[in-house]
Amino acid sequence: MKKHNFSAGPSILPQEVLKQASEAVIDFNGLGLSLVEISHRSKDFIAVMDNAQALVKELLEVPEGYSVLFLQGGASTEFLMAPYNLLTEGGKAAYVDTGAWSSKAIKEAKNFGETIVVASSKDKGYSYIPKGYDIPNDVDYIHFTSNNTIFGTQLKEFPGGNALKVVDMSSDIFSRKIDVSQFDVIYAGAQKNMGPSGTTLVIVKDAIFGTSGRTIPSMLDYAVHAKAGSMFNTPPVFPVYVSMLTLEWLKEKGGIDAIEKINNEKAALLYNEIDSNPSFVGFAAKEDRSNMNVTFTLADESKKEKFDALAAEAGISGINGHRSVGGYRASIYNAMPIESIQVLVNAMQEVNK
Ligand SMILES: *Cc1c(COP(=O)(O)O)cnc(C)c1O
């Protein structure tokens, strides 16, 4: 039986994308060769890279003056690439600490220079998004995590100000409309909402190249990758190809506006159940709830065995909360159909019977 996949990452991809991808692994474009055994400099693969980059630009309405890169090393490598490229010697970086991923980003920035935390929600177990803080004028950049995959909170708006802005959008990129021009670096590991693990999407404003004044190793230098059209070395061909297919799927669905509307409906269905069902309690502050990762716990732990059995029986997979939070987390990324959420809601209702 096909499961209802609520995994936080790597996570659900559209069925039709998986089918096309598996076919390309055997025979790509009727070449009689696999996608993964041809040169990345072949015209067939160059077309994949060009198309993937063009789809990112089209779907997110990326303005002129930005480069779209498909890098390796995961979002975790961006934790250090951002300061390497932006934090000047003797300069200062600002971070908003909204969870485990922000904390890891902060740890890496500290290797490069003074790193200040301008706001944190650690005091309440990262269950909310801090607001109304000041961003000092003298920082080289400020870093946000737009969606906190583990805790289920999401920044609904980003503060203004003159500082360069870096954002980790790993778990909500392509899920809602964003204004790319607000940001200088956007990065996202593919495996939450775009493709398989193995590539990281980076959208970088070309004007920031050279900002840190440091000598940066080539592989960690945004400018080097941008100049080479994201082909400085062998790109992760399979993850880029599958990301391209997912973005084509998204475009066919009507793009960001259409998916955002569906995502709002999906999240509302699940949060309404959490709020109306006496057996469950939501984890995140209501106004900061994520539309991608829905975190909740049982009001009465003695019902755990019953609920887990009901969920398993319904074919629900991947809803255990992160080990640091406990309870449950339902990740409802773009490819998750509303029908699967209804199956989860039904199981939640069964607990009371
Ligand atoms: C998963 C995740 C990461 C880590 O991504 P890797 O690709 O495993 O390095 C970073 N930030 C956020 C918000 C995530 O959800």
pLDDT digits (tens, 9 = 90+) for 143-172: 999 999 999 999 999 998 899 999 999 999
Whole-number Å distance, alpha carbon 51 to ligand 1 midpoint, is: 24
Q: Is any atom of ligand 1 closer than 6 Å to the C-beta of 143?
A: no
Residue 3 lies in a domain: no
Range of the domain at 122: 17-252
Domain co-membership, 167 together with 275: no
What number of other Cβ atoms are within 10 A of residue 296's Cβ? 25
Determine the distance separating the centroid of ligand 1 and the alpha carbon of 222, expressed in angstroms. Answer: 19
Work out the burial of residue 217: count CB atoms within 10 Å of its CB; fewer than 13 is exposed, 13-18 middle, 19 or more buried: exposed
- Please check whether residues 305 and 345 belong to one and the same domain: yes
> Of 206, 236, 252, which residue constitutes the final position of a domain?
252
Domain count, the chain: 2
What count of other Cβ atoms lies within 10 Å of the Cβ of residue 351? 19
> Do residue 313 and residue 210 come from a single domain?
no
Q: Is 192 tagged catalytic?
A: yes
- 269 and 238 housed in the same domain: no
Out of 70, 149, 155, give the residue to mutate to test ligand 1, the one with the largest number of ligand atoms within 8 Å of its CB: 149
Q: Which of 224, 252, 280 is the last residue of a domain?
A: 252
Q: Do both 146 and 279 map to the same domain? A: no
- Whole-structure pTM value: 0.98
Same domain, 161 and 286: no
d(CA 252, CA 150): 30
Instruction: Note the pLDDT tens digit of each residue in 290-329.
Output: 999 999 999 999 999 999 999 999 999 999 999 888 999 9
Gap between the Cα atoms of 223 and 210, Å rounded: 8
> In this structure, what token pair is assigned to residue 185?
């670096």
Q: What is the pLDDT of residues 248-292, one digit of tens each?
A: 999 999 999 999 999 999 999 999 999 999 999 999 999 999 999
Task: With respect to residue 124, please indicate whether it lies within any of the assigned structural domains.
Answer: yes
The answer to whether the CB of 199 is under 6 A from ligand 1 is no
Beta-sheet strand order (sheet of 293-298): 280-282, 293-298, 328-331
Residue 185 sits in a domain whose CATH number is 3.40.640.10
Catalytic residue among 97, 140, 165, 168: 168
> How is residue 93 written in tokens?
């970086």
| Last residue of one domain, picked from the residues 236, 252, 268 | 252
Residue 230, Cα to own-chain centre: how many angstroms?
A: 20
Q: What is the DSSP string of 97-153?
A: E-SHHHHHHHHHHTTTSEEEEEEE-GGGTT-S---S----TT-SEEEEESEETTTTE
